[in-house]
Structure 1
Amino acid sequence: MNGSPDPSVVIPRILGERITPAPNYRGSLPPEIASWYCYTYDSGHSILVALEIGDLGDQPTRSQLEGKLVPVPVESVQRVGWRMTGGYVVCTLDPESANSYRTLPAEGARFFRLLGLHPGPEFEVSAAAALAGVGHSRAQHLLDVLVGAHLLTQTAPDRFEFHDLLRAYAIDQAQHEEPVETREAARLRALTWYLHAADAARTRVSPAEPPVPLDALPDGVTPPAFADYNEAMRWYELEHGNLLAAARTAADAGLDVIAWQLPTLLRPVHARHNAFEEWFAMGHIGLSAARRAGDRAGEARLLESLGMACRQSHRPAEAARYHEDALTVRRDLGDRLGEALSLNALGLVHLRTRRLAEAEWRFMGALALLRELGASEWEPTLLSNLATVDYEAGRLEEASEAIHQALTTLRERGDKGGEGNALRILSAVQRERGDIRKALETAGSAVEIARRHRNHVWEGYWLLDLGKAEVADGRPEDALVSYQRAAVLHRQLGDRSREARAWNAAGEAYGRLGHFEEAAAFHRRAAAAHRELDDHWQLALALDGLANALRGSGGSGAEEEALRHWEEASRTLTAFHDARAAKLRHRIGRALGLAHSEEPPALPSRVNAPEPGLATGEEQQVRRRPIGP
């Protein structure tokens, strides 16, 4: 064998059009195999390897080795091991597996080859049936045949997966044995199955979500139906890896409509799991696909999805840019419902950063549009959001009125997620009004809804309000259990902001118990996280809690440190002008010995001038009381 092979020449010659632009591979590769890295639409991040089946001999020729080259997923190569022969990466497939394939009946062999075209290495019976274009019972029989031949592993009553290297072998056999038209038709059937399954799940998870018009199903493809929310979410938990792979496969194969529709349909599911890695990956895949397809409505929906992902992962500046871009597209298209949803999304971004006046303006603009359009299904959501603004601004009467109105409608419609969120808000209002028993009952009902729906995003957030009610009831020990659970859930979900809020709340509970050192430690952790996240409001709350804990401890140097933290909190609060912020600033001023600490003036009413970016017609309907002390 003369000279070493050049991977940059061999890879495109062997794989041809199967190579597609690669997403960034975030792992590290040993240097001897790194040059053989490639990315294909059917195998993903791969190494081009010579797949030996006991037939290469001790000194294989270059032509022998190149005749065995197939892309194998990086994880499989690293798991089964490799050796270098003549400059090529060689992996060994058990010869018995190849013999099992060769002795299959023709139908079973074809089924094995087509399964290699499935977006991921594991699948359920219905997906395999759609891929092969056969009925469910026939697919089950053929899967049993492949399990019996040790070519697949059955992982659950309805789920199967390839052994290492066998999927690459199946793909290679499909490339050589199946016509292009057959492969493309099989791939389209599988992707369409996932698309319609995602739509069925979306219908159960978020029935108010505007539908996505889908092409008709190919003959012989039957997507699953879900009895309820829990069944839909269980399906997503099993299939989330395949769904991401399906979006990538669709984009890489030039099926741009499927590539943007699939992440759009999954947006409400991603939002309930904080599945940020998949959410962002699919969102970017979908946005690029929608732009390639020239579908501006699809582009707006993917911009909205990425904005929501940024907001929930506490990246408010990015979130606002995505939502502003979506709003621009929707106004260009004359999409009034989409415009209202973008206004609501922008309001939520402002709410997270405590820009209460801007949040209220956006919510009221959205509500006016929805009422104009008769889109009553979204009204309880807007009322809940406005109630949150009212509560944060210290307007408890208005918050109570809005949230009761929202709750009535949400319960009539059976919207448990919306009901749980409304109960969270109502519990906060009841607590501040001094009705602690009702606040406990209401927050407990919200948490119970979250647990019945197995939704950790809801549970983690709503536990914070349950803990506050428990503290108000003189039960800080119980509150610590709620806060610990909330912190763990938010850590698992990747929500650092709410995890830090749970730490800060735990500090308050420890302070009530007189455990000031523990309280200071939790407040300090919360302050560090909120400072890193640039969340000024939550930082001020954490610094105030830390200062109180230090003063309570009475330790050496504690008073001087407490005063420094209060001074920083006071400076941080200058960005906020609502009544709650004014009250906190005044109290901190007194702690600092500023007896005449000045409270900020009330914000002017927004009725005096239109908000930039809102249409004139909205301006007339967004008149509301000012936010201020």
Structure 2
Amino acid sequence: MGVELRLLGPIEAVGPAGPAVLSSARQRALVGLLALRPGLPVTAPRLVQALWGMDPPRTAVRTLQSHLTRAKQALAACGLPGLLTNGRVGYALAAGPESVDACRFEALVAAARAESAAGHVAEAVAGLRTGLGLWRGEALADAELHGWAAAEVARLHKVRLAALGDLWDGELRLGGHADAVPELERLLVADPGEERLVGLLMLARYRCGRHPEALTGYQRLRAHLADTLGVDPSPELQRLHTAILRRDPSLDPPDAPGQVPAQLPSRPGHFTGRPAELALLDAALPPDGPRPGHTGRPAPGTPDQGTSVGTPLVLVSGPAGMGKTALVVEWTQRVADRFADGQIFCDLLGHDESTALTPDEVLGHALRGLGVPAGRVPTSPADQLGLYRSLLRDRGVLLVCDNVGSAEQILPLVPPGPGSLLVATSRHQLPTLDVGYAVRRVELDALSPAESLTLLERVLGPARVAAEPDAAGQLVEACDRMPLALRIAAAKLTSRPRLAIGDLVAELATGNRLDALSVPGDSRSIRAVFASAYHALTPGAAAAFRLAGLHPGPTFAVPLVAAVTGTPVTAARLVTEELAAAHLVSEVASGRFRFHDLIRWYARECAGTEESSDARTRAEERLLDWYLSVADAANDTLTPGRDRARVAARHPVPAPPFGPRHAEVLAFLDAERANLSAVSRHAVELGEDTAAWQLAYLLMGFYYSRGHWASMLEICRTGLAAARRLADGGTEGLMRGQVGVACIQLQRFDEALDALRRALPLMVAAGDAWGEGSVRNNTAVALAALRRFDEAVAEYEAALAMHTANGLSRDVAYALNNLGDAHTRMGQTDLALDYLDRALALVRTLGDERLEAVILHGTGAAHLGEGRHRQAMELFDRARGTQRLIGDRRAEVDTLNDTGLAHLGLAEHAEALDLFDQARRLSRAIADPHLEAVAMTNLGLAEFRAGAPDAAEDWYLRALAVRARVPAVFEEAELHRHLGDLAESRSDLATARSHRDTAIRLYEKANATAEAAALVGRPAG
């Protein structure tokens, strides 16, 4: 079934479609309770007791059933429809123990104890690390449990504590006392009275030569036990204390084997997350026996990179500060025992050419690590290489090269045999390595939000983070989820225990973020780490880094780099690829890149200090010129004839990266969509008011086709503010008109009418006949949406007259189409078809595909109103063919819905359901909740007519929930009418009357008097 049930932390259920959305704490608790006994039934009374304790509310059983139903739905939605079952005995999850992390944990602990009893200490330690690595926090952390369930959670924590003791006991038996000390100290902060851990810490400190501290640990425990329990430490611990006092030789560490290098650094403190990357590293181990990696199998979603046979080289790359070294040291410490002939570690200092080790120096270090005395290392590089390969051929050695600057530094070290492995870290991608070797690549990026919070909790303690959860989340994002930045921020908070997390967030938000992310006395500030990568760039790439950092949006394309640098696109592509290879930018799609926020901050800082004010101004102007040229070209293709913005570029900029086809234009603007609002705001910040309103005007065709009306309204309002500052009445009227159009699309018709009525006198005063006609047309659209059809027709006719008088054929065709639509909705089909036929004949002389599809759809709607379903479907199909061709998704949703209604009119329920569901999914893709609710309503109607009232009710209720966010009075009235019909079909007359009364009230409010009258006096049943 592909199920993953996670209890060792927040409760999660993951299916083929991703994590289940368990929206309430009790839903999560129920899944967690059933997962404690996978495959075995749990009775309802036991579930009630676990959720509410010994005094449950009177409604507990009914509430339990509701939670179980919703949990079952959530599991089905993530691809686990049969997971939660209900049998005669009780409820169960149809999953095996291997699917539950708690069960796997206990199995791993049991197996580790068996290995330890057999003398296989290293295998036992590896198994314990794997099991303990499954814990993500407290067991069933987000469930409030009682009775037997609370006892089970307490038992799991006892098993975990015992496993931690077993782990560090094993590590000490293997000689890992130096690594044990900091980890045991951390564990004892949470549980200072755990005698076994105290004893292990005493022994570890003693073996590290910290004899007084070992004795101090015993004294602290004795005082703690006396104060809390009034008892002394156990006899076993007392004997250990006496042995330390006497410096008993039996406490000495086990003998280390001679000539076996063990150069790995200590494990990083508070290492967090990276399950997928650790799994990829596990897969690179030589294929001898079981792998002792952290999970034993790749994490969900980890790409399959095949077997590791013949893969002698692993490259871990990523931006500065992402924790590459920490990951590699953590992993190599976990798997060190797999390499019987030792581990060699070398920092190649590759970030600075002046200090980077040469290949000969690296090879010499490796030879000395393999036991070759310094005086016997050959002087000839060829002889060194031959000796190295001879020594390594039949050995199992793990080589770690940190901070690699170039492929040449490590190529001589690639192992010649299958038993050894070279793991390298670099800020560069080093593509040269792939020429001669099968390189396994591990790309490192920012931590996930959950991993970032876990890191803060491990450094600061869970209580401090829990006290300010919102501020902690904001700190995570302010640090860009970069491990180094998070550690620095946590270090500042640790050193200042009275500093609130929220205060540090405010400091990061209002001050220089790079200054704030530094600790006095620590050279590893964020700025220093970024500088080491920046100063290694070629001059052209460094300039591109500085100037591309001025871009305000989340991603950018290569032509943007060409624009801001004033260079050809081919040159811009080369320097951008250099930035990507250095991991100063990340390629998120083909030819599209992004900065991490902190790196962008550093880029802008470099621009501020290294570019003159004039140079920065020119770059900003070129940036806006390029976006205006893109928007202008898009406007010409998507909405030809809209010519009110005349763009005049101040600098030569690259041509827009698309041709004249709708699909090319829309695909590029889709990728830029998140940038458009940011660029509009940036124009205002720079005082570029003309650019701000022109962008708003020129991008309307994109939003007409793709939806996302909230973004459209934001850009239009920004354009309006800019126009008002310019004190240009005509431009202000134009922008007010566009704000009105955006409000119409968002179903905010009163706001739309207010904006349009303010626009009209401005157009009249400016003598703008086209503008006046356009405002009247859009005013009519809003009035028609409010079902004030007589007023709408009057405005449409006024717009038609003005556009006809001015010879504006395309606008005449729009006005004719809109008059046809209004008369269709008024039930005057013959008149509607007359207007629509005239509009269609006119638009075919213009070659405007988009408008022709609009009119074909309107004509189909008129035939649908008369019950001519097949004729309507033919017209809808023609309209939709064009809409799909040109990418007009917004219009396609309307056509899908109306085509579905035509099929429904012929009782073709399956076809209707499919079309309505396509409309629903496409509505969600263009972020149009109004149309999504329309599609849901239609789905409910189709299910009801197909004889599935329960499914119909579900769709109706989901549509009502959306309507709470996007009110539409007439559509809401329709929903209540449908719900009344459904209740009547169930003979629930009281509910039917209630819904019909609500529908009547809403119809009257929506000016739908005929619909209201049809329901008045209609008896329920």
Same fold (TM over 0.5): yes
Tell me the CA shift for residue 119 of structure 1: 2.9
SS state of the match for residue 594, structure 2? strand
TM-score (norm 1): 0.76
Tell me the CA shift for residue 163 of structure 1: 4.5
User: Is 1:438 matched up with 2:879?
Assistant: no
| Match in the other structure for 1:570 | 1000
2:976 touches 2:996 (CA, 8 Å); kept in 1? yes
| Match in the other structure for 1:398 | 831
Tell me the CA shift for residue 246 of structure 1: 1.7
| Match in the other structure for 2:1015 | 588
| Match in the other structure for 1:116 | 549
Question: In structure 2, what is the Cα distance between the partners aligned to 1:87 and 1:489?
Answer: 55
2:709 touches 2:928 (CA, 8 Å); kept in 1? no
1:308 touches 1:345 (CA, 8 Å); kept in 2? yes
Q: Greater CA deviation, 205-214 or 173-182?
A: 205-214
AA aligned opposite 1:226: G
Q: Greater CA deviation, 313-322 or 521-530?
A: 521-530
User: Is 1:462 matched up with 2:895?
Assistant: yes
Q: Aligned in 2, Cα 1:112/1:390: closer, same or farther, shift over 3 Å?
A: same
1:550 touches 1:559 (CA, 8 Å); kept in 2? yes
| Match in the other structure for 2:526 | 92
1:260 touches 1:286 (CA, 8 Å); kept in 2? yes
| Match in the other structure for 2:643 | 210
Question: In structure 1, what is the Cα distance between the partners aligned to 2:554 and 2:861?
Answer: 47
User: Is 1:307 matched up with 2:307?
Assistant: no
- 1:487 pairs with 902, 916, 920, which one? 920
SS state of the match for residue 258, structure 1? helix
User: Is 1:379 matched up with 2:820?
Assistant: no
Tell me the CA shift for residue 94 of structure 1: 7.0
| Match in the other structure for 2:437 | none
Question: In structure 1, what is the Cα distance between the partners aligned to 2:697 and 2:965?
Answer: 31
1:363 touches 1:382 (CA, 8 Å); kept in 2? yes
User: Is 1:356 matched up with 2:789?
Assistant: yes
Q: Aligned in 2, Cα 1:568/1:281: closer, same or farther, shift over 3 Å?
A: closer
Question: In structure 1, what is the Cα distance between the partners aligned to 2:548 and 2:508?
Answer: 15
| Match in the other structure for 1:498 | 931
1:403 touches 1:426 (CA, 8 Å); kept in 2? yes
SS state of the match for residue 696, structure 2? helix
1:300 touches 1:330 (CA, 8 Å); kept in 2? yes
Q: Greater CA deviation, 290-299 or 317-326?
A: 290-299
- 2:885 pairs with 452, 459, 472, which one? 452
| Match in the other structure for 1:508 | 941
Within a 5 Å distance, the mapping from 1:8-23 to structure 2 comes to none
User: Is 1:324 matched up with 2:757?
Assistant: yes
Tell me the CA shift for residue 314 of structure 1: 1.0
Q: Greater CA deviation, 399-408 or 148-157?
A: 148-157
- 2:699 pairs with 227, 247, 266, which one? 266
SS state of the match for residue 787, structure 2? coil
Encode CA deviations 1:211-261: one digit per residue, 9 max, x unaligned: 302223413554445321111111111112222222122111112211221
| Match in the other structure for 2:974 | 541
| Match in the other structure for 2:772 | 339
Question: In structure 2, what is the Cα distance between the partners aligned to 1:247 and 1:87?
Answer: 42
Radius of gyration: which is bigger? 2
Tell me the CA shift for residue 114 of structure 1: 1.9
Encode CA deviations 1:318-363: one digit per residue, 9 max, x unaligned: 1111111111211121111101000011111111111111111111
Question: In structure 2, what is the Cα distance between the partners aligned to 1:123 and 1:446?
Answer: 34
Tell me the CA shift for residue 500 of structure 1: 2.5
Question: In structure 2, what is the Cα distance between the partners aligned to 1:254 and 1:510?
Answer: 55
Question: In structure 2, what is the Cα distance between the partners aligned to 1:98 and 1:539?
Answer: 58
Q: Greater CA deviation, 240-249 or 101-110?
A: 101-110
AA aligned opposite 2:738: S
Encode CA deviations 1:367-420: one digit per residue, 9 max, x unaligned: 011011111111111111111111111111111121122223334433232222
| Match in the other structure for 1:6 | none
SS state of the match for residue 413, structure 1? coil
- 1:183 pairs with 595, 616, 619, which one? 616
Encode CA deviations 1:564-620: one digit per residue, 9 max, x unaligned: 333333344345777xx52x34532462399xxxxxxxxxxxxxxxxxxxxxxxxxx
| Match in the other structure for 1:473 | 906
| Match in the other structure for 1:5 | none
Q: Aligned in 2, Cα 1:542/1:108: closer, same or farther, shift over 3 Å?
A: closer
Question: In structure 2, what is the Cα distance between the partners aligned to 1:287 and 1:251?
Answer: 11
User: Is 1:285 matched up with 2:718?
Assistant: yes
Encode CA deviations 1:422-472: one digit per residue, 9 max, x unaligned: 222222222333322212222222233333333331222211111110011
AA aligned opposite 2:996: W
Of structures 1 and 2, the one scoring higher in RCO (CA 8 A, sep 6+) is 1
Question: In structure 2, what is the Cα distance between the partners aligned to 1:548 and 1:81?
Answer: 65
Within a 5 Å distance, the mapping from 1:361-372 to structure 2 comes to 361-372=794-805
Q: Aligned in 2, Cα 1:220/1:515: closer, same or farther, shift over 3 Å?
A: closer
SS state of the match for residue 642, structure 2? coil
SS state of the match for residue 160, structure 1? strand
Question: In structure 2, what is the Cα distance between the partners aligned to 1:359 and 1:179?
Answer: 56
Q: Aligned in 2, Cα 1:562/1:293: closer, same or farther, shift over 3 Å?
A: same
2:800 touches 2:812 (CA, 8 Å); kept in 1? yes
Q: Tell me the number of residue pairs that the alignment of Structure 1 and Structure 2 aligns.
A: 530
Q: Greater CA deviation, 469-478 or 239-248?
A: 239-248
SS state of the match for residue 593, structure 2? strand
Question: In structure 2, what is the Cα distance between the partners aligned to 1:336 and 1:466?
Answer: 37
Question: In structure 1, what is the Cα distance between the partners aligned to 2:597 and 2:967?
Answer: 45
User: Is 1:197 matched up with 2:627?
Assistant: no
1:200 touches 1:226 (CA, 8 Å); kept in 2? no
Q: Greater CA deviation, 495-504 or 178-187?
A: 495-504
AA aligned opposite 1:434: G
AA aligned opposite 1:206: T
AA aligned opposite 2:998: E
Within a 5 Å distance, the mapping from 1:95-106 to structure 2 comes to 95=529, 97-106=530-539
AA aligned opposite 1:304: G
Q: Aligned in 2, Cα 1:484/1:121: closer, same or farther, shift over 3 Å?
A: closer
Question: In structure 1, what is the Cα distance between the partners aligned to 2:1020 and 2:540?
Answer: 86
Question: In structure 2, what is the Cα distance between the partners aligned to 1:87 and 1:353?
Answer: 67
Q: Aligned in 2, Cα 1:322/1:87: closer, same or farther, shift over 3 Å?
A: farther
1:313 touches 1:494 (CA, 8 Å); kept in 2? no
Q: Aligned in 2, Cα 1:114/1:449: closer, same or farther, shift over 3 Å?
A: same
User: Is 1:426 matched up with 2:825?
Assistant: no
Question: In structure 2, what is the Cα distance between the partners aligned to 1:368 and 1:87?
Answer: 77
Percentage identity across paired residues of the two chains: 28
2:692 touches 2:718 (CA, 8 Å); kept in 1? yes
Question: In structure 1, what is the Cα distance between the partners aligned to 2:546 and 2:603?
Answer: 5
Tell me the CA shift for residue 199 of structure 1: 0.7
1:130 touches 1:222 (CA, 8 Å); kept in 2? no
Within a 5 Å distance, the mapping from 1:128-147 to structure 2 comes to 128-147=561-580
1:280 touches 1:306 (CA, 8 Å); kept in 2? yes
Tell me the CA shift for residue 127 of structure 1: 1.4
In structure 1, the gaps of 5 or more residues are: 1-27, 38-42, 44-48, 60-70, 595-629
Tell me the CA shift for residue 193 of structure 1: 0.7
AA aligned opposite 1:427: G
2:736 touches 2:759 (CA, 8 Å); kept in 1? yes
Question: In structure 2, what is the Cα distance between the partners aligned to 1:259 and 1:118?
Answer: 15
AA aligned opposite 2:1015: I
Tell me the CA shift for residue 265 of structure 1: 1.2
